[in-house]
């Protein structure tokens, strides 16, 4: 049986109803086999009217069998009842369509949500499946972490300091700050590189020289007569530095002692050659080199001493006096670490000999009487000043 509201033929439905007159219309099962979701309300009303006509015909047939018009009237009444039910069924169908519309909307929402979730999952899976992008991100993160670690390592890395002192044999200030220079050299060890460069020839100002000589504790004589310039001694120092840089420092020290303490004329070539031989240079070679360089002119400078320092890439400049506390603070602030292994008295004297009493007591922070108690150094004098030298060779160092 085709359900009400379907697309079947009406004559077929009337014949079926006429054949089964014993079944009440109200008991008929209404099923929509058509699957049509857009059925019109007018189709429902027409279906109800047709059902009423079929009911009237069935009633007439039944009335005829019962013998009278009363049967026909009863049949018509039954048909009207069926028609009423048909109209009611049409309203129910409309309500059902509204329900279907609502259900369809819910289904669409569910479908959209499902699609969104599916899309999100697909994108996530796509990201997970993209090894190039993932590797690139990991490499970038590792590179950033590595850069940060390198920056931290650079910040924490101990630095080395370098100090270059531009000086000459007549430099009273350069001589006066020797205890400070040696103390820095000893305390910072390999983290502190101390070197000397030779000043260009200059004229000596007597007033400035006397003032500088009296300012420091280092021994210095009141030289009665100063040379007009430093041309000869400057040339000798440059020759020494070119021939043997290791002996140059000893030669500079010996010239200072001769000029500032012994009051010897170190602007005479003979004196310069003799003192070079005393510190270890080959006399004839030194003298010959001195003569070969006699006519070279060097541009003079104005101030002495000039000290150029650096810590890592940082340039540090000093002029004139060099105070230990200030210099020590500058190096510490620039991450230059003290070495922490001070030398023994014998090691100190061996490294810098001849060492003045002032240098030994200031640098090593010892009393003067401790110098004489050491069995590995001996006392010597230059001019009016006390100095100390090492006994024996380096094998006797403790």
Same domain, 92 and 241: no
Same domain, 322 and 236: yes
Four-CA torsion 126, 131, 136, 137, nearest 10 degrees:
50
Rounded Cα distance, 324 and 343, in Å? 18
Same domain, 168 and 91: no
Which domain-ending residue is among 99, 131, 152? 99
| Domain membership of residue 165 as a residue range | 161-341
Same domain, 200 and 70: no
Asked whether 307 and 161 are in contact (CB, 8 A), the reply is no
pLDDT tens, residue by residue, 35-59: 444 444 444 444 444 334 334 334 3
Per the domain annotation, does 197 fall within a domain? yes
Query: What does the pLDDT average to over 190-215?
Result: 90
Assess whether pLDDT exceeds 60 at residue 187: yes
Rounded Cα distance, 23 and 58, in Å? 11
pLDDT tens, residue by residue, 230-267: 999 999 999 999 999 999 999 999 999 999 999 999 99
Same domain, 243 and 332: yes
Per the domain annotation, does 82 fall within a domain? yes
Q: What is the pTM of this model?
A: 0.61
Place of tokens 């004839």: 284
Same domain, 334 and 218: yes
Rounded Cα distance, 319 and 308, in Å? 9
Same domain, 71 and 199: no
Rounded Cα distance, 30 and 367, in Å? 126
Same domain, 168 and 87: no
Assess whether pLDDT exceeds 60 at residue 111: no
Residue 79: the pLDDT is 39
Rounded Cα distance, 380 and 392, in Å? 15
Place of tokens 């000589």: 213
Task: Give me the number of domains the chain comprises.
Answer: 2
The pLDDT > 90 percentage for the chain reads: 39
Q: Average pLDDT, whole number, for the chain?
A: 72
Same domain, 46 and 168: no
Rounded Cα distance, 38 and 389, in Å? 122
Residue 70: the pLDDT is 39
Place of tokens 């230990």: 324
Which domain-ending residue is among 64, 83, 99? 99
Q: What is the DSSP string of 8-61?
A: S-HHHHHHHHHHTTTS-GGG------S--TT--HHHHHHHHHHHHHHHHHHHHH
Residue 137: the pLDDT is 74
Assess whether pLDDT exceeds 50 at residue 286: yes
CATH of the domain at 287: 3.40.30.10
Q: Which of 33-37, 142-146, 329-333, 390-394 has the highest mean pLDDT?
A: 329-333
Residue 139: the pLDDT is 76
- What tokens were used for 94? 């409309």
Which domain-ending residue is among 60, 79, 99? 99
Assess whether pLDDT exceeds 80 at residue 332: yes
Per the domain annotation, does 33 fall within a domain? yes
Same domain, 70 and 197: no
Q: pLDDT category, 394, cuts 50, 70, 90?
A: low
pLDDT tens, residue by residue, 61-94: 333 333 333 333 333 343 333 334 444 444 444 4
Assess whether pLDDT exceeds 50 at residue 147: yes
Q: pLDDT category, 361, cuts 50, 70, 90?
A: very high
């Amino acid at each position: 049986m085709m359900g009400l509201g379907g697309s079947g033929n009406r004559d077929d439905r009337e014949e079926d109803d006429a054949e089964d007159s014993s079944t009440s219309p109200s008991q008929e099962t209404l099923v929509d086999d058509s699957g049509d979701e857009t059925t019109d309300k007018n189709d429902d009303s027409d279906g109800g009217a047709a059902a009423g006509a079929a009911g009237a015909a069935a009633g007439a047939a039944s009335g005829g069998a019962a013998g009278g018009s009363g049967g026909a009237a009863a049949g018509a009444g039954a048909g009207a009842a069926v028609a009423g039910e048909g109209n009611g069924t049409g309203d129910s169908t409309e309500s059902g369509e509204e329900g279907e519309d609502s259900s369809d909307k819910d289904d669409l929402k569910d479908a959209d949500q499902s699609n969104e979730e599916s899309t999100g999952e697909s994108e996530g899976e796509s990201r997970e499946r993209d090894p190039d992008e993932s590797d690139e991100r990991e490499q970038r993160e590792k590179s950033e972490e590595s850069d940060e670690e390198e920056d931290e390592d650079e910040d924490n890395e101990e630095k080395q300091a370098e100090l270059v002192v531009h000086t000459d044999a007549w430099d009273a200030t350069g001589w006066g700050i020797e205890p400070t220079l040696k103390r820095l050299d000893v305390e910072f060890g390999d983290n502190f590189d101390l070197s000397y460069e030779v000043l260009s020839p200059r004229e000596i100002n007597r007033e400035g020289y006397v003032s500088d000589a009296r300012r420091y504790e280092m021994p210095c004589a009141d030289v009665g007569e100063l040379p007009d310039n430093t041309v000869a001694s400057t040339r000798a120092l440059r020759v020494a530095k070119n021939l043997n840089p290791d002996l140059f420092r000893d030669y500079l020290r010996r010239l200072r002692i001769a000029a500032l303490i012994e009051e010897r004329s170190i602007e005479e070539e003979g004196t310069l050659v003799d003192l070079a031989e005393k510190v270890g240079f080959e006399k004839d070679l030194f003298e010959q080199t001195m003569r070969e360089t006699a006519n070279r002119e060097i541009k003079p400078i104005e101030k002495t001493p000039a000290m150029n320092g650096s810590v890592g890439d940082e340039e540090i400049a000093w002029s004139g006096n060099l105070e230990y506390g200030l210099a020590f603070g500058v190096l510490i602030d620039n991450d230059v670490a003290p070495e922490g292994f001070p030398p023994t008295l014998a090691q100190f004297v061996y490294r810098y000999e001849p060492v003045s009493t002032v240098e030994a007591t200031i640098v090593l922070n010892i009393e003067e009487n401790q110098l004489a108690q050491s069995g590995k150094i001996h006392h010597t004098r230059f001019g009016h000043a006390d100095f100390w030298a090492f006994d024996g060779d380096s094998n006797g160092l403790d």
